[in-house]
A and B are shown apart, each in its own frame.
Chain A
């Protein structure tokens, strides 16, 4: 039984209002922000991911759960920074050049955030140079790319080439996903990992950073 059951339930049920009010109350009661993250939000998002994996949840439930998680995170994040709690790792994420699909990418970003990662979302239609710039600036452990069009998958390879050209390929683990992307494509372009769902992306990212 997770602690802070009401916050946990609010996230799993996708109830943003309750998630927000429960977080406010708990923080006011003096509960540590890091504890709320590790004992309520992370287990809640893991449960959401589990339900998605076994077809109990689908995109709509994931979207509202992500929204509830974000409502809580808005309040928790400033406190985390203030108390010096470190994220699991930092991730830079974006949808590749030429592609405007972002629902899957947003879910991956939300699951990672709910999994304790610091996430910098570059948005959609992100050219290789911007990925490279963000890696140089944010120094993330992980770079995550999403593509939904068979025609934009090559931009993933181009981005990896650009990382190599900039001499920073070995500073970051590259993970890729999106409906048309496959494990073998990921291997072929020299990515470090592939996942077929948003929740599997969290497991993958944890594995790659050794946590």
Chain B
């Protein structure tokens, strides 16, 4: 056995000689977006002691000075001696929310849960005053069955449905137990908001309707459980799984409606949850239209040559400065890759510098977008961003057209979801991701969690009536989608 010491934590691992660093470090937050082929350079680590000789891929990724300092691509190496290895420890905090809410008091406590595909946030709420007493977050344990909802649903359809259900119920049960132990009054109600896939996997429903056309499930309404049915011990508390709005527009958006009161507005507003599946709801008290747009994982850094999640070493912000690009790296230190907010910024700044043309081409003579630390975005990366932002913007344009208004008639644009809260709004506007004036757009935090909290105070579940006010649109059925998508892929000229 050899010893691997992780810096800065000092944690020691006993490892069999020859173990691939990739196998060890994934669990410690090092990402391998290209699958460990030495192509993307995101798995940069510094081997402080006994660094192995650099490979050809290492030489491509680092300067001589960096190699001498021990910088290597983790995917290229195995443990062949006792080594000390430095990985950063910054990860994006799960968005919580403690906005005060006006509520009708109840004599007990409740727990609100945002059940996300990647992360889970749970809050203990004092229903006597609506205050948040404690928050717990966790990673969704289903992640080992796939990162995105389609692979999770597919895994469920191939026999892992019970494993997926039990994994997430177990984790939520654990969080609830921890929170209930802190409660000053009994926990009587739990409200869970999740996207359509999370809704089905938690409830143990047949995932197949969501895996084939028309991608609509007949079972996406509200579900009510007793704690014991879920294997939880909360003294008979009731657990409500919020209803979905239709198709892939899930209970997280139902909660989003509650949190933003879109359905009570006088004039049209748009709620956007920017993620792998962008979810959109447009409307006001007259009525609401919803759609999901398949953006793909570019905003999470996947499919981008140097892309990574918002974690230590990720370039999270980029500005045009002195004729070049200036980057901010999460956790300080050298950059290992770029996350979604950095990508949007970088291309926005490159447009301003004239390095990228409105049609997405790099300016003549330019081969890449250099970011420093030996990292650069490629022409193909810009194309991937065009697909992702084009899909969202086309969805927005189609929803507005369906409603019979121009995007300029939308009074407020509210950004929900983690990426929506980190992306810089002027950059999102600059690349045409959001075809609106900057002043109309605002990030509104974790509306799924806030909405679940509001649902705790809605005794007769009036929110179930929201579904009837929302018309769900299937974008592929609307004529003109292709045209709108093609147009939305271009970058605005200024």
A residues engaging B (CB < 8 A)? Answer: 55-56, 58-61, 63-64, 98, 100, 103, 106, 125, 149-151
Chain A proximity of B130: nearest CB distance (Å): 42
Is B379 an interface residue, CB under 8 A from the partner? yes
- Could you write out 27 A-B pairs with CB less than 8 Å apart? A55-B361, A55-B362, A55-B379, A55-B380, A55-B383, A58-B359, A58-B360, A58-B361, A58-B489, A59-B386, A59-B486, A60-B359, A60-B487, A60-B489, A61-B359, A63-B482, A63-B486, A98-B212, A98-B213, A100-B476, A103-B482, A103-B485, A106-B482, A149-B150, A150-B151, A151-B150, A151-B154
A-B contacts, CB under 8 A, total:
42
Q: Which residues on the A side are within 8 Å of B150 (C-beta)?
A: 149-151
Interchain CA distance A32-B489 in the complex, whole Å: 38
Interchain CA distance A106-B379 in the complex, whole Å: 23
Chain B proximity of A95: nearest CB distance (Å): 11
Q: Which residues on the B side are within 8 Å of A56 (C-beta)?
A: 361
Interchain CA distance A172-B454 in the complex, whole Å: 60
Contact at A125–B213, with CB atoms within 8 Å? yes
Interchain CA distance A149-B248 in the complex, whole Å: 15
Contact at A98–B359, with CB atoms within 8 Å? no
Contact at A100–B213, with CB atoms within 8 Å? yes
Q: Which residues on the A side are within 8 Å of B476 (C-beta)?
A: 100
Majority secondary structure, A binding face: loop
In the complex, which of the residues A58, A98, A150 contacts B386, with contact meaning CB atoms closer than 8 Å?
Answer: A58
In the complex, which of the residues A60, A106, A125 contacts B490, with contact meaning CB atoms closer than 8 Å?
Answer: A60
Interchain CA distance A150-B211 in the complex, whole Å: 11
Q: Which residues on the B side are within 8 Å of A151 (C-beta)?
A: 150, 153-154, 211
Interchain CA distance A106-B154 in the complex, whole Å: 27
Interchain CA distance A60-B486 in the complex, whole Å: 5
Which residues of B from 84 to 125 have beta carbons under 8 Å from A?
none
Interchain CA distance A55-B489 in the complex, whole Å: 14
Besides A55-B383, A58-B386, A61-B359, 6 more A-B contacts (Cβ < 8 Å) are A56-B361, A60-B359, A60-B489, A98-B212, A150-B151, A151-B153
Nearest to B212 among chain A residues (CB) is: A98
Nearest to B303 among chain A residues (CB) is: A179
Which residues of B from 382 to 436 have beta carbons under 8 Å from A?
383, 386-387
Interchain CA distance A150-B146 in the complex, whole Å: 12
Contact with A along B142-154 (1 / 0, CB 8 A): 0000000011011
Q: Which residues on the B side are within 8 Å of A60 (C-beta)?
A: 359, 486-487, 489-490
Interchain CA distance A59-B487 in the complex, whole Å: 10
Nearest to B489 among chain A residues (CB) is: A60
Nearest to B488 among chain A residues (CB) is: A60
Interchain CA distance A55-B368 in the complex, whole Å: 12
Chain B proximity of A108: nearest CB distance (Å): 15
Which residues of B from 334 to 379 have beta carbons under 8 Å from A?
359-362, 379
Interchain CA distance A106-B166 in the complex, whole Å: 42
Q: Which residues on the A side are within 8 Å of B486 (C-beta)?
A: 59-60, 63-64
Q: Which residues on the A side are within 8 Å of B213 (C-beta)?
A: 98, 100, 125
Q: Which residues on the B side are within 8 Å of A58 (C-beta)?
A: 359-361, 383, 386, 489
Contact at B362–A98, with CB atoms within 8 Å? no
Interchain CA distance A61-B213 in the complex, whole Å: 29
Interchain CA distance A158-B424 in the complex, whole Å: 45
Chain B proximity of A109: nearest CB distance (Å): 13
Q: Which residues on the A side are within 8 Å of B211 (C-beta)?
A: 98, 151
Q: Which residues on the B side are within 8 Å of A55 (C-beta)?
A: 361-362, 379-380, 383
Q: Which residues on the B side are within 8 Å of A64 (C-beta)?
A: 486
Interchain CA distance A100-B214 in the complex, whole Å: 9
Which residues of B from 451 to 494 have beta carbons under 8 Å from A?
476, 482, 485-487, 489-490
Chain B proximity of A147: nearest CB distance (Å): 12
